[in-house]
């Protein structure tokens, strides 16, 4: 039971990280990155590069999957908590 709780907690952390990664990908969508530096003649120059291409539909699927994984792991923890409570009640 305890191992199941630890596995579920680990799964919840992994799901939260997936959600964070997906959110970070969406935040940078459509932005230009600008770097300012000196050229050989000591003049200020600006280099602009496009942000990486992000597939919004893929990121939304990733977010929904992470949410479902998180919810499933939360249910595992709830059941394990209930089981431990029952075991403690039986022993008392």
Beta-carbon count within 10 A of 38 CB: 9
Neighbouring C-beta atoms of residue 4, cutoff 10 Å: 13
Q: Which of 5, 3, 25 is nearest to 79 (CA)?
A: 5
And the tokens for 54? Answer: 């992000």
In degrees rounded to 5, what are phi and psi of residue 87? -60, -45
Q: What percent of the chain has pLDDT over 70?
A: 75
Domain extent, residue 33, equals: 2-91
* Domain tally, the chain: 1
The pTM (predicted TM-score) of the whole model is 0.69
Which element (helix H / strand E) includes 2? helix 2-27
Q: Render pLDDT for 38-63 as a digit per residue (tens, 0 to 9).
A: 555 555 555 455 556 889 999 999 99
């Amino acid at each position: 039971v305890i191992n199941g709780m630890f596995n579920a907690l680990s799964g919840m952390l992994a799901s939260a990280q997936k959600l964070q990664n997906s959110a970070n990908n969406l935040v940078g969508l459509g932005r230009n990155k600008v770097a300012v530096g000196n050229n050989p003649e000591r003049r200020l120059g600006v280099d602009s590069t496009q942000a990486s291409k992000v597939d919004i539909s893929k990121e939304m699927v990733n977010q929904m999957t992470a949410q479902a994984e998180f919810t499933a792991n939360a249910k595992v923890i709830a059941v394990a908590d209930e089981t431990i409570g029952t075991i403690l009640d039986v022993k008392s």
